[in-house]
A = this chain, B = another copy of it.
Amino acid sequence: MAGLLGVAVLGAGHMGADHIRRLGQVVSGARVAAVADPDLDRAKEAVADLDGVTVHADPLAALAAPGVDAVLIASPGPAHEEPLLACFERGLPVLCEKPMVPGSTGALRVVEAEARLGHRLAQIGFMRRYDAEYGRLKSLLDGGGLGRPLMLHCTHRNVSSPPGFTSAMLINSSVSHEIDAARWLLGQELTAVTVLRPRPSAGAPEGLLDPQLVLFETDRGALVDVEVFVNCGFGYQVRCEAVCEQGSARIGEDHTMLVTAAGGAREEVAQDYLVRFADAYDREVQAWVDATRQGRVTGPSAWDGYASSVVAEAGVRALESGGRTAVALAPRPDLYADVSR
Interface set of A (CB-CB < 8 Å, partner B)? 1-3, 24-29, 51, 132-133, 136-137, 140, 145-148, 150-151, 153, 196, 198-199, 201-203, 211, 213, 215, 217, 220-223, 225, 227, 229, 232-235, 237, 243, 245-251, 253-269, 279, 286, 290
Contacts and interface: CB of A to CB of B under 8 A. Distances in A.
25 contacts: A3-B51, A25-B28, A26-B28, A26-B286, A146-B261, A153-B153, A196-B217, A198-B223, A199-B220, A199-B221, A199-B222, A203-B246, A233-B246, A234-B247, A247-B262, A248-B259, A248-B261, A249-B257, A249-B258, A251-B258, A254-B254, A264-B267, A265-B266, A265-B269, A279-B279
A255 B253 contact: yes
Contacts of A264: 234-235, 266-269
Contact of A257 (B220, B251, B263): B251
B243 A262 contact: no
Contacts of A28: 24-28
Contacts of A232: 243, 247-248
Contacts of A215: 196, 213
Contacts of A247: 232-234, 259-262
Contacts of A233: 245-247, 261-262
A18 to B, nearest CB: 15
A121 to B, nearest CB: 23
